[in-house]
């Protein structure tokens, strides 16, 4: 059993002010500050110009936030490693349930987020950028978001679609120039009020990372958006459709995307089928039902502790989209307890020490089916 430190905080102000505040917070951890920097000359002048223009168009305010952070730690904006990682990982399980299947008649979303405990932020924050929608969710590399919900009642979460894409070794190389998932999710949360607006934005946005996005809003709509190597596909559900839930794991689910990538990792298929079987037999679900689903252990469940293989459950989350509420259990361990946060309440700054149970898979983790 290992330990991890979780940080809970709220940020407000202009993008520059938020970035500067994050930089001052980071100065308390010199080793973290150095991790945020990449060597000068990493990008050509043309690449720097293209990145700046792309972020201004699709993630407005991000350049200003990075500028504030850079100035706070005594660096330049283009030295931020966020650019190197975002200009173009983890795996997860996601399930959105519409009111017809929930006991309280609310839109609910259940999510497990898997990654390495040594490379994860372990941060949950509320962000109130001047002129943008307030949202709360997990951070990635401080400036990005792994999932979240905003003040309008839009929830966004992701799972990787196939092998993770990025600029690091052992990752699938990008097929197009575009954005990483954490920049996409934050942009949607800050600028879109519902599923329809989010889908419109996604269809216009250049996305380099291969992702499955699940979107849900308090109006009773949900969608699965998939993109792989630049191709995009969508499946929508609402109160009128026969299907009242939608889910994703770490492979392509929609026909247009499966044509490009028909193979899937066995553990992803196993988790996908487990959710399907559970939901096909369920009705009148409540918070506790979804929490038990998330913490049930693979292969007869969704929770994994393979952190050294970049597939350990960092956090399990249950969103009540209708209420603007999220329950979080860190480390996928019941003993760590569930914490509840409401979007319309002030997020109190908090530091938590949680247990991380490190295990290793007893099978070929990369086996394809």
Interval 154-186: pLDDT, tens: 999 999 887 666 555 555 667 778 888 889 999
113 closest CA partner among 261, 316, 270, 269: 316
- Confidence at residue 212, expressed as pLDDT on a 0 to 100 scale: 95
Q: What is residue 88's predicted lDDT score, i.e. its pLDDT?
A: 41
- What are the distances in angstroms from CA 150 to CA 247, 254, 287? 20, 27, 20
For domain 91-356, the CATH superfamily is Penicillin V Acylase; Chain A (3.60.60.10)
Model-level pTM? 0.87
pLDDT at 70: 84
Q: Specify whether the CB–CB gap between 334 and 328 falls below 8 A.
A: no
Note the pLDDT of residue 161: 87
Q: Considering all CA atoms of the chain, what is the largest pairwise distance in Å, rounded to the nearest integer? A: 57
Whether the pLDDT of residue 214 is over 70: the answer is: yes
Q: What tokens were used for 42? A: 């990493």
CB 248 within 8 A of CB 214: yes
Mean pLDDT of 79-104: 76
Structure-model confidence comparison of residues 172 and 230, the more confident one? 230
Mean pLDDT of the 196-218 span: 95
Q: 51 Cβ partners below 8 Å, 6+ apart?
A: 43, 83, 87
Contact 214, 109 (CB under 8 A): yes
Euclidean distance between CA atoms 244 and 273, whole angstroms: 16
Among the listed residues 95, 98, 42, the one whose alpha carbon sits nearest the alpha carbon of residue 294: 95
CA dihedral 132, 135, 139, 141 (to 10 degrees): 0
Contacts with 237 (C-beta within 8 Å, 6 or more apart), sequence order: 98, 221, 222, 223, 243, 244, 245, 246
Domain-by-domain residue ranges, the chain?
14-86, 91-356
Count of helices and strands (H, E) across the chain: 10, 16
- 8 A C-beta contact, residue 284 and residue 102: yes
Task: Please give the average per-residue pLDDT across 268-293, as a whole number.
Answer: 95
Residue 55, SS3 per DSSP: helix
Question: What's the pLDDT score for residue 163?
Answer: 65
Q: How many whole angstroms separate alpha carbon 283 and alpha carbon 278?
A: 10
Summarize the confidence of residues 88-93 as an average pLDDT. Answer: 66
């Amino acid at each position: 059993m290992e330990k991890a430190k979780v940080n809970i905080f709220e940020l407000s102000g202009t993008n520059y002010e938020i970035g500067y505040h994050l930089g001052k917070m980071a100065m308390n951890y010199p080793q973290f500050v150095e991790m945020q920097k990449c060597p000068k000359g990493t990008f050509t002048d043309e690449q720097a110009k293209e990145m700046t223009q792309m972020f201004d168009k699709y993630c407005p305010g991000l350049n200003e936030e990075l500028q504030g952070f850079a100035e706070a730690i005594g660096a330049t904006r283009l030295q931020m490693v966020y650019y190197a990682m975002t200009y173009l990982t983890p795996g997860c399980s996601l399930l959105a349930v519409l009111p017809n299947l929930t006991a309280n008649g609310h839109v609910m979303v259940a999510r497990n987020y898997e990654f390495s405990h040594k490379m994860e932020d372990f941060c949950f924050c509320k962000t109130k950028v001047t002129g943008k929608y307030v949202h709360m969710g997990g951070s990635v590399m401080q400036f990005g978001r792994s999932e979240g919900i905003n003040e309008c009642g839009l929830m966004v979460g992701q799972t990787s679609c196939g092998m993770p894409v990025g600029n690091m070794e052992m990752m699938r190389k990008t097929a197009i120039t575009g954005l990483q998932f954490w920049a996409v999710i934050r942009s949607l949360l800050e600028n879109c009020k519902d599923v329809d607006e989010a889908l419109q934005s996604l269809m216009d946005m250049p996305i380099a990372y291969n992702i499955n996005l699940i979107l849900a809003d308090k109006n009773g709509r949900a969608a699965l958006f998939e993109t792989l190597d630049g191709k995009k596909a969508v499946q929508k559900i609402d109160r009128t459709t026969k299907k009242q839930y939608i889910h994703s794991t770490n492979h392509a689910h929609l026909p247009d995307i499966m044509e490009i990538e028909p193979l899937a990792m066995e553990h992803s298929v196993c988790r996908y089928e487990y959710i399907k079987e559970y939901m096909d037999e369920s009705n009148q679900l409540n918070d506790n039902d979804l929490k038990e689903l998330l913490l049930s252990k693979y292969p007869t469940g969704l929770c994994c502790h393979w952190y050294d293989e970049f597939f350990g459950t960092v956090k399990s989350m249950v969103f009540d989209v209708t209420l603007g509420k999220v329950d979080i259990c860190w480390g996928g361990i019941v003993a760590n307890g569930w914490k509840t946060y409401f979007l319309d309440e002030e997020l109190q700054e908090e530091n938590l020490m949680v247990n991380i149970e490190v295990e290793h898979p007893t099978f070929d983790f990369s086996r394809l089916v």
